[in-house]
């Protein structure tokens, strides 16, 4: 019997010297024990080889059975882990740190002097809410995800329609009929699994806006109605959070950052009353050139990235106007209105 244990020890010693994998050494041990068991079973009592290997087959049979059970258990555990997928993989404890995979993914950001590792970590920790998953919300959602903004919220109560696909590039043909927030969340997850998306399949209202905005650092307004814009503006002013605002014409668009907490005016300073319905025509009525929402939405996203990382000079108190027909841009200064009912000193506290 002692001979067998000596042989196992020698086997493991040789295995270690040859750097053989543990699995191979276990297999060799199994074969050795199997051989001993066969010797015990087929050789007659008193045979010198039987005497040398312990004289009873029972002990070896028990050891082999125990080994088989342990092996089967480990195999089953491995299969369960594989089926559960990488989501069961341990996450780094500190969420502000970037993993190896993230360092790789954001390498072209991290080499930028204006962003670097600190900026990329700030992007990862940032929470940005997009109002509207349409023409502007599409590029904003995709570029925020690609940029590595850690938490992206999207609020929209619409479903994808075939007529949206000419410019709302976050949605695909097979998403027709699907809620826009779900379609957008799927595309963002496909683009960057390292960011998380919160979807709100509803309309933004004066009632739900305060609680919603409390969960985010920056609000991006890509909506297309005066009412929604006014609700978003009032809630952002009340929450003292920057509102990156974009608007579209057929071939043109405007971008600005409303941030009254930092001394700028707000949307209501600029548009105190609803526009004449005859003038306020939507995309559906007037049409919009496909790339224009992409250009304006990308400009808005650049402002968000700048606000989070501290890069450059954000469009606070200035409006950038893009004219696609003549490939022209210009900037105008926006002054706060001291009489503004939303951000002025005489504002109504809600």
Residue ranges that bind Zn ion, judged by CB under 5 A? 265-266, 268-269, 340, 342-343
Residue 291 Cβ, how far from Zn ion at the closest point, in Å? Answer: 32
Q: Is 186 exposed, middle or buried (0-12, 13-18, 19+ CB in 10 A)?
A: middle
Helix (H, G, I), strand (E, B) or coil at 79: helix
Q: What residues does 245 pair with on adjacent strands?
A: 221, 256
Residue 341 Cβ, how far from Zn ion at the closest point, in Å? Answer: 8
Which C-beta is closer to Zn ion: that of 265 or that of 314? 265
Which C-beta is closer to Zn ion: that of 133 or that of 334? 334
Residue 264 Cβ, how far from Zn ion at the closest point, in Å? Answer: 9
Handedness of CA 101, 102, 108, 114 (dihedral sign): negative
Which C-beta is closer to Zn ion: that of 137 or that of 265? 265
Residue 226 Cβ, how far from Zn ion at the closest point, in Å? Answer: 15
Residue 256 Cβ, how far from Zn ion at the closest point, in Å? Answer: 12
Which C-beta is closer to Zn ion: that of 236 or that of 288? 236
Which C-beta is closer to Zn ion: that of 212 or that of 268? 268
DSSP code string of 277-325: TTT---HHHH---THHHHHHHHHHHHHHHHHHHT-S---BTEEEEEETT
**Close Cβ partners of 85 (under 8 Å, ≥ 6 residues apart):** none
Which C-beta is closer to Zn ion: that of 67 or that of 317? 317
Which C-beta is closer to Zn ion: that of 291 or that of 336? 336
Across the chain, the runs of DSSP E, i.e. the strands, are 127-131, 151-155, 196-200, 218-221, 243-248, 252-258, 318-323, 328-333
Residue 347 Cβ, how far from Zn ion at the closest point, in Å? Answer: 8
DSSP annotation of 36: H
Q: Pull the structure tokens for residue 307.
A: 């606000």
Residue 270 Cβ, how far from Zn ion at the closest point, in Å? Answer: 8
Neighbours of 100 (CB within 10 A): 8
Distance CA 241, CA 307 (A): 11
């Amino acid at each position: 019997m002692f001979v067998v244990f000596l042989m196992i020890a020698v086997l493991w010693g040789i295995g270690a010297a040859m750097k053989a994998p543990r699995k191979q050494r276990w297999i060799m041990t199994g074969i050795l024990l199997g051989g001993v068991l066969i010797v015990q079973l087929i050789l007659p009592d008193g045979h010198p080889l039987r005497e040398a290997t312990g004289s009873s087959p029972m002990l070896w049979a028990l050891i082999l059975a125990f080994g088989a059970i342990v092996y089967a258990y480990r195999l089953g555990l491995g299969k369960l882990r594989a089926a559960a997928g990488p989501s069961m993989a341990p996450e780094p404890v500190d969420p502000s740190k970037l993993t190896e995979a993230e360092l790789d993914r954001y390498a072209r950001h991290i080499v930028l002097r204006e962003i670097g590792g600190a900026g990329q970590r700030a992007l990862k920790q940032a929470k940005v809410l997009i109002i509207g998953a349409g023409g502007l919300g599409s590029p904003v959602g995709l570029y925020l995800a690609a940029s590595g903004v850690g938490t992206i919220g999207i609020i929209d109560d619409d479903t994808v329609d075939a007529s949206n696909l000419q410019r709302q590039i976050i949605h695909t043909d097979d998403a027709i009929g699907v809620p826009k927030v779900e379609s957008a969340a799927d595309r963002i997850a496909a683009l960057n699994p390292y960011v998380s998306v919160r979807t709100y399949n509803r309309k933004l209202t004066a009632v739900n806006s305060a609680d919603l905005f409390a969960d985010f650092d920056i609000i991006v307004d890509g909506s297309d109605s005066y009412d929604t814009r006014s609700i978003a503006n009032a809630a952002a002013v009340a929450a003292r959070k920057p509102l990156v605002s974009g608007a579209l014409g057929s071939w043109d668009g405007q971008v600005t950052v409303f941030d009254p907490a930092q001394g700028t005016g707000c949307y209501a300073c600029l548009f105190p009353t609803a526009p004449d319905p005859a003038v306020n025509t939507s995309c559906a009525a007037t049409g919009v050139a496909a790339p224009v929402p992409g250009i304006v939405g990308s400009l808005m996203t650049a402002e968000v990235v700048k606000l989070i990382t501290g890069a450059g000079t954000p469009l606070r108190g200035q409006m950038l106007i893009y004219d696609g027909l003549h490939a022209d841009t210009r900037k105008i200064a926006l002054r706060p209105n001291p009489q503004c009912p939303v951000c002025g000193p005489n504002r109504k506290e809600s």
